[in-house]
Structure 1
Amino acid sequence: MILLEFAAQGVRGVAPAGGRATLRPGYNVVSADGAALRRLLEALLHPDPRDGEALPRAPGGPAGAAVRAGLTLVGDDRVTYRLVRDFTAGAQLHRFDAERRAFSLVSQDLAEIAAALRAPIGVPPRARQGALLTIAAADLPSRRPSVAGAAAAIPQRAPLSPEQARRRREQLEGERVRARASEKVQQELDGLQARATELEVALRDGARLREALAAAGRARDELAPVAAARDALGDADAALTAYEKAAARRADAAARVQAERAGIEEAEASGAPLPFWRAPPFWAGAGAGALLAAAGVAGAAAATGMRYLALLDIPAFGWAAWVALRWVSAQEAWERIARRRRVVDDWQAKVEAQFERDGAAVRGALAALGLARPTELREVLGKLAEAEAAVTGARTRLEAWEATPGARGAAAEKARLDEQQAALEARLASEAGGFVRDVRSIEAELQRLEAEATAPAPAAPAPVVAAPGAAEPLRELLQRAAAELGGSAAAAGRGVAEKAGQVLAGLTSQRLGGVQVDDRGGLHVLVAGRPAAAISLPPADRDLVFLAMKLAFLEQGLAGGRRVGLVDDAFQGLSDGARRFAARLLKQAARAGQVVHATADLAFREAADHGA
C-alpha cells in the first residue's frame, strides 16, 4: 500500500494548499500539525464510527460544521482506491476501473470499508501500525506518568473552599476572555497561513528556477580555472587552431630533418676521404713517371733508343695528378656534408623556436589545468561554454518568470502576508500571554465549578491504584512489538538492539552507547561505558531511548516493502544535529516503502524526497 493523495476540510492544523496534498513513495514531509495529521490518517486507514470525536475542529466554523477527508492510495493488488469520508454523515470507498477509466463504488458501509482496507488493499491492523509503523510525540515516556508513581500522580482532588472557588472562577473568567480574543486572532492567523501556503505553491516555480540558476552557477564556478585559462588565451579557438597548425608544421619539419639526417649519416658512414699523399695509386703513378723520366734522360745521354721512354712519364704523372684531383673532389664533397649538417641543425632549431613561440600560450593553459593534450583543453572549454550557456538560460527563464504579472503579484502579496502574520503573532503573544486553552475547555471547567458549588460534600475518596496490566512506556513498547512480531519482548528488543544502539549514539553524539535487553525485557543503555537501566535515566534521555527503539522498529516494519509509516513532531525537542540525523534515518527507512512525516521543521524538509 502506498498513499498518493489526501484532502481535508474542517480539521484544525491540516489545511493542504488547494484542499489536497500529493504524496509519493519514499520520505514525504507535510506542513501540518503533526498530531492532527496523524490522527486524520489513522481515522482514514482504520475507520471507526467515533473517529470524528478525536479530530480537532477548525476554529471559527459554525457548530456542527462538516468535517470531511479523502484519501487516494494504491493497494497491494496494484489497484488505485479512493476513500471519501464525512465524519458526520458516512463514507464511500471507490475502486478505479481501468477499462472504464473511472472510479466505481465499492462500499458505503464503514465495516465493509474497514475490511476492504485490510484486504486486498493491505492496510496493516491498527495495533501493528501503532507498534511498528508510527512514531508519535504523545507516546514519549516524558509525556506519560510512570507506573511506579501512578498512585501519587493521580490523587483524589479535595473540594475547593468558597474563597478558593471564587478565585478560581475569576481566573477562569480572565482566561476565557483571553481565549476568545486569541481564538479570533488565531482564526485570522490560520486564514493568512492558508493563503500563504497557496502563494508558496504559486511561487514554487520561481523557487525551482532559482535553484536551477544556483546549481548552474555552482557548476560554472567549479570551472573557474578553465575560465581563467580561456581568458589568458584570448581567442581560445584561434589559439588552439594556430597551435595545431604549428604542431603540424613541426611534425612535417621533423620528418624532413629525420630524412636529411639519415642521408648525412649514410654519407658519413664511409668516413673522410684518404689524403692523396697517402694513397698507393698516387705514389705508383708518380714513381713510375719519375723512373721513366730518368730512363729517358739516361737513354738520351747514351744516344740510344731508350730516350723515348721519357714520353711514358706523361701518362704516369697524369695518373698521379688524376688521383690527386679525385681527392680534392672527395674532400670538397666531405666538406659539403658538414655544411649540410649545420644547415639541417640550424633549420631544426628555427622550427623548434618558432613552435615554442606559437604554442607558448596553449602550453601554459595545459600546464595550469594539468592537461596533456590540446584535445582535452578543447573538451573542458566546451564544458565551460555549456555551463555558461546553462547559467544564461536559467537566468533568462527566471527573469521571464519574474516578469509575469502573476509572479510579481504573488511575491508582493506573500511579503505583505508575512508582515501581517508577524503582526498577528505579536498580537497573539501580547493578548494571550502564552498558551491558552480553547474556550470550550474553560467553560466546561466553569460548569464543573458551579456544579461542585451546589453539590453535597463528597464521600471519602477511595485509594487510587495503578491500572492492572499497565506497563512502563519502554517495556510497553517492547511488549506491543512482540505481540506483532511474535515471540517474547526480550526477543523483539534484541532483534533491533544493535540498530537502536547506533541510532541512540547518533542522537546523543556518542553520549549514550549501545542498547541491551535482558531476559525479562528490561532495557539497558551504556552510559560512560557502563550499563544502566533505561528506566532510571532522566526523562529526556528516556525519550531518546524510546525514539531510537521506535526508529529501529519503523525500519524493520518498512523493510517488507509497500508499507506506510506515520511520524509527527516527536523530534521537535532535539538539537539541530540530532534532528538532521533522524531525518537521514527516516529517509533511509522510507526507501523500502513510504514515510509521511507531519512537521514544519526545515531540518526534515531539506532531507525529504517530497514536500507537501
Structure 2
Amino acid sequence: MELPAPLSGLVVALAFPDGRGGDGAFLAPGAKAGRAGLSIQGNDGSVWRIVRDLGGAGGLHKLNRTTNTFDIVTQDAGEMGQTLRGSAGFPARTTWEQLFTLNGPQLPTRRPKGPARTPGAASGKPSAPRMMSKWDMDGGGAGGGDVDASKLPLLEAELETAKRAAQVQFRVDGISSEIYELESKVKAVEQVTDELNAARAELNRALSREITEDMIVRARRLPDDKKRFDEQLARIQDEQRLLSESAPVPPDPLQKDQRFLASMAAGLGLFIAAMFLDGGLRYLALLSLVPFSFAALLALRFIEDLQRLSRGGGKLEVLTAREKKLTDDFALQAAAVQKTFETLGVSSLDEFQTALDTRNSLHARVAEVEAREAQARSAIESSGVKGRYDSLKAELEKLNQELLGMSAGYVRDVRDIEREIAKIREPAPAPKPAAAAEFTAVPTSATETWEDPTPPLLLLATDLFQADIPSLWSVLHDRAVQYLSALTDRRYHEISVDKDGHATLQAPGRQVSARELPGRDLDLMYLALRLTLIEKASTNHKLPVVIEDTFNTVLDAPKQPLFGRMVKHLGSLTQVIHVSGAGQNASLADVAVTI
C-alpha cells in the first residue's frame, strides 16, 4: 500500500480499511500484534472511535452520551466506510489525503517532473544529440563576435540598475519581514481602539435619549404613588357609598300630602263659614287657626327635609370633585412617566431600570476600554514600536515606488547581465583548424518545468465545498493572499485564478504564471493554498488534520516560528496533529508527544 507519510498513512488504514489486513504494515518491527485507535467528531457533534488490531479485525464505535461509553456500530470494513462518510461526515479517501494531510512529498517540486516540449518533440521526432566543442563548453564560441558590441553601454547601465534593484529588493524583503512582526502589535492597539470607538458610539446613542434626574425619580416613585392613589381613591369611594346609604329619602311634595290638604281645606272652611255667620258665631273663624297651624307645621317639616337632603348632596359633590382631582393628577404623573419610557424605548419599569443599568455599565465599559487603550498605546509608543512601524511603512512604500520605476518593475538577474557583458568584452580567439578541434557527443535534454498544482487542488475542493471554481476562489482569495504574502515576505501581493483553476501571481510591476515560478516560490504558493483550504474547510468539517513536515527546505529559519503560528491558528478551528523534528514548534502545541 502506497502511503504519503507514516501517521497519515495509519489514519488512512484505520478510516479506509481494505479488508485484507493491509494495516499490518504498521506493526513495529518484530511485533506480532498491535492495536491502533482514532477518535473523530462528526459534523453533528457526535463522537466516533475506530479501534483496530493491526492486521486483524476492527470496529467502529459511537459514544453513548447517556452511559458515557462507546457502543459498537459495525465491524464490517465496507459498512465502516459508509457510516463514516454518511453519519460522521468523513470525506472520501482522496479528499482527505489531498486536503486534510500536508507533508513534504506533496510539494509540487517533490513530484515527478516533466520535460518541456522541444522543437523535436513538437514535431513528433526525437531530437538528435548535437556535437558540443570545447568552445561551447567554455561559453559559447567566439566571444564578442556573436553579439553586438554597441549594446555594451546599455548593458552596463542595465547592470547598474539591476544591482541597485537587488539592493532595494533585499532591503524590501527585510522591511517586509520586520513589518509583519510589528503589524501584529500595532493591530492589537488598533483593535482596542476600534473596541473603544464602538463602546463610545453605543454610549452616545444611549445618552442621545436625554432624561433628567427628576424624570428618573418620578419613574422610580411611580409604584409607590400608584399604591397611595389606590388607597385614597378607595377611601373616597367608601365615603361616597356611606353617604349614599345614609342619605334621607326625598320628601313627597306638599300638594300630594293628604294631611296638608285636609288641614288647609278645614281652615278655609271654618274661615269662610265665619264670614257668613252673625253674632258670636263669627268667632268660628278663630278655630281655623288650628288647621292652618297644622298645615304650617307640615310645610316646615317639608322644608327641613329639603334642607337636609341638600346638605347630603353637597357633601357627595365634594367627594366627587376630590375623586376627579385625584384621578387627573395621577393621570398626568403617569403620562409623564410613560413619556420617559418612550424616550428610552421601554414599556415597563423593569425595562426602564435595565436601560439605566445599561447606561451605567456603558460608562464603566468605556472607562475600562479607555484605560486598556491608553496602556496599549503607551506600551508601543514607549518601546518605539509605533514610530518604527510608521517609518518602515513609509520606507517600504518609497522602495516599492523605486522598484516600479526601474524598467517598470522588471529587472533581469545581475549574473545574466554580467555574463552577457563578459561575452562582449571577451576577445575573439584565433580560429583553429577543424581537424584540431576535439568534439564530445553530449545529448541535450529538454528544460524541466513544474506543473501548476492549483487546478487539481481546486477541482478536488469543489466537491467538498459544493461550489464551482470561481465561486470557491471568491471564498479563498483574501485569505490565500494573506498567507502567500506572509510566507514570501510580500514579494507576491496577489493571486488570480482563471475558470480552469490555473493560478497567476503578481509581484511589483509584473505577473508570473504558476508554471513559471521558481521551485521554492511554487512550493510556498502551494503551502498558502493548502493552509487556506484547511482553514476554510475546518469551519464546517471538524476532521483531524495531519501535518508531517516542518518544510525546512522551503521555509527559512526566521519563517519557521511564523509557520508554527499558522498551524497553531488552524488548531483553534479543528484538531491538528503536527509531526516535526525534536523540539521544533513544541512551545506552540497544546500537547507535545515524543514518538
TM-score of the pair, normalised by structure 2: 0.47
TM-score of the pair, normalised by structure 1: 0.46
Larger Rg: 2
